[in-house]
């Protein structure tokens, strides 16, 4: 198979680890070349708590993806979630030395870099700085200040913060599995890239990604991310409850949930019964589906209500901040029967299930278009995006070098470095910081 430009997204989840290799086809859609998934051991509520097990799970998923595609995996883009993630709002400004000059990307970079210097709680580190809207000399609600004149450039930022040790542990797992860490992205942002359309982001939408260990929330309005949050509950607590409530082993509880589970107890008749084989020589157990869905219902209501509190915290009830497109559910937990109806009932908002097929090529595997793979597809998109940026920069550098060959050597070197730094986006700068940070941590 020809090599081409391909990238890899690696989703390290609580229940599964997924590696997806893909590239962009000529229509700008993503062609999936290979996938691998393995059971995730050593991750609890989105946080790595057993490095050795996580490394071997990553290696399994990666090997499977390599076998599937016949390609070699080098660098990966990884998602980060977990209960240590929090987000805050921050405003900052810079005063420009010359207000007669046009505002350019350098000014925006300078402003963003200033936010990275914010003093965090001990052991915390800034993962993303996402500008929301800008103010130029007091003129508010400027979406794109580049090209405007002004002395004072101000912006509101959505800052995502995580625990240094958790980020380091993810980095160490990737390194020990023989891979390079390309980038780290907040998982709700990756899932949002994969399942939301631009119209939904404009109208206002809340993306709820129900995973095994965590439920991630990302809220968009006017095309900009407004709120993110990670709630430390997911599908696993439902399984746990079924296990306790029906006194059965976890494997059986998981199967029951997937095959017969429903979030709406009214659905099942009283006489519907499932029989479960007993453990070695014991009598089989009989469980009524009504009881099963009562257990599931109680737990799901709890998760949805917590998410709804976050949506209210963002300010959904104000007219100006109303989320017109409602809620999109994705992740493995979104496949629970009647969940959509329950969420609509609790929140009173329109709800749909989000499939990551928005950006996938038409002939993609059915399986990849399942909500289970939303985060992995989003991470792959992120990887391809970063790769494209790098290629543009490299091409421009090559052109520059050709132009500079004729010029005086040290002058040339100077201009070349200047233009290179100009082009590095905030995101690349951040990844570099993170890479240095991880290397020093070794």
pLDDT per 10-residue tile (average), the chain, 442 residues: 75 93 89 93 90 95 93 91 88 91 91 92 91 91 90 93 92 93 90 93 95 92 90 93 92 92 81 86 88 93 94 88 94 93 94 90 83 94 88 85 67 46 54 66 54
Query: What contacts 12, CB < 8 A, 6 or more positions away?
Result: 40, 43, 48, 54, 58, 78, 79, 170, 173
Six-digit token pair at 42?
Answer: 């050593």
Angle 105-116/426-441 helices, nearest 10 degrees? 40
Instruction: Say how many Å lie between the first and final Cα of the chain, rounded.
Output: 36
Task: Residue 255: give its domain's CATH number.
Answer: 3.30.420.40
379 contacts 181 by C-beta, under 8 angstroms:
no
Q: Closest Cα partner for 437 from 172, 190, 46?
A: 172
Q: Please count the other Cβ atoms lying within 10 Å of the Cβ belonging to residue 135.
A: 18
In a domain, 271, yes or no: yes
In a domain, 435, yes or no: no
Q: 255: domain range?
A: 235-299
Q: How many domains does the chain have?
A: 1
Cα 311 to the chain's mean position, in Å? 18
Q: Are strands 7-12 and 75-80 parallel, antiparallel or unpaired?
A: parallel
Q: How far apart are CA 262 and CA 69, in angstroms?
A: 37
Structure pTM?
A: 0.85
In sequence order, the β-bridge partners of residue 330 are 209
Q: What is the pLDDT of residue 417?
A: 43
Could you tell me the sign of the dihedral formed by the alpha carbons of 179, 180, 183, 184, in that order? positive
In a domain, 122, yes or no: no
Q: Phi first, then psi: what are they for 336, rounded to 5°? A: -65, 135
In a domain, 244, yes or no: yes
In a domain, 94, yes or no: no
User: SS3 of 226, please?
Assistant: strand
Six-digit token pair at 214?
Answer: 């965590």
Q: How far apart are CA 317 and CA 96, in angstroms?
A: 38
Angle 426-441/374-405 helices, nearest 10 degrees? 100
Cα 250 to the chain's mean position, in Å? 28
Q: Phi first, then psi: what are they for 70, rounded to 5°? A: 70, 15
In a domain, 262, yes or no: yes
In a domain, 258, yes or no: yes
∠ CA 90-123-48, nearest 5°, is: 110
Q: Phi first, then psi: what are they for 329, rounded to 5°? A: -100, 135
265: DSSP letter: G
- How many CA atoms lie less than 13 Å away from 208 in the CB half-sphere? 35
1 contacts 25 by C-beta, under 8 angstroms:
no
């Amino acid at each position: 198979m020809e090599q081409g430009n391909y990238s890899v997204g690696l989703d390290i989840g609580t229940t599964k680890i997924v590696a997806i290799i893909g590239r962009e086809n000529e229509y700008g859609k993503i062609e999936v070349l290979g996938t691998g998934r393995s059971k995730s051991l050593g991750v609890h509520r989105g946080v790595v708590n057993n490095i050795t097990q996580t490394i071997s799970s990553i290696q399994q998923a990666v090997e499977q993806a390599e076998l599937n595609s016949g390609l070699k995996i080098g660098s990966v883009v990884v998602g980060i979630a977990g209960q240590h993630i929090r987000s805050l709002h921050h405003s900052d400004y810079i005063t420009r030395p010359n207000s007669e000059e046009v505002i350019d990307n350098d000014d925006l970079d300078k402003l963003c870099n200033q936010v990275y210097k914010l003093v965090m709680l001990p052991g915390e580190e800034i993962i993303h700085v996402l500008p929301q809207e800008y103010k130029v000399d007091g003129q508010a609600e400027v979406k794109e200040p580049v090209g405007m004149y002004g002395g004072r450039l101000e912006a509101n930022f959505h800052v995502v913060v995580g625990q240094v040790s958790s980020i380091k542990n993810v980095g160490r797992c990737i390194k020990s599995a023989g891979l390079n860490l390309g980038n780290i992205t907040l998982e709700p942002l990756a899932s949002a890239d994969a399942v939301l359309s631009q119209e939904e982001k404009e109208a206002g939408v809340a993306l709820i990604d129900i995973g095994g260990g965590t439920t991630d929330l990302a809220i968009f309005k006017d095309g900009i991310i407004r709120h993110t949050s990670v709630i430390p509950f997911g599908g696993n607590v439902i399984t746990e409850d079924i296990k306790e409530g029906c006194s059965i082993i976890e494997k059986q509880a998981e199967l029951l949930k997937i095959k017969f589970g429903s979030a709406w107890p009214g659905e099942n008749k009283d006489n519907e019964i499932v029989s479960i084989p007993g453990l070695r020589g014991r009598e089989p157990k009989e469980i009524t589906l009504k009881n099963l869905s009562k257990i599931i219902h109680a737990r799901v209501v709890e998760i949805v209500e917590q998410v709804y509190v976050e949506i209210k915290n963002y300010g959904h009830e104000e007219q100006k901040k109303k989320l017109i497109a409602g809620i999109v559910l994705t992740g493995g937990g979104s496949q629970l029967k009647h969940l959509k109806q329950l969420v609509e009932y609790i929140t009173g908002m329109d709800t749909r299930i989000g499939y990551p097929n928005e950006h996938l090529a038409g002939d993609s595997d059915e399986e990849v278009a399942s909500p289970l793979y939303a985060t992995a597809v989003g991470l792959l998109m992120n990887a391809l995006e970063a790769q494209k940026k790098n290629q543009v920069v490299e091409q421009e550098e090559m052109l520059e070098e050709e132009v500079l060959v004729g010029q005086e050597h040290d002058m040339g070197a100077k201009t070349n470095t200047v233009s290179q730094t100009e082009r590095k986006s905030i995101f690349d700068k951040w990844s570099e910081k993170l890479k240095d940070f991880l290397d020093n941590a070794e």
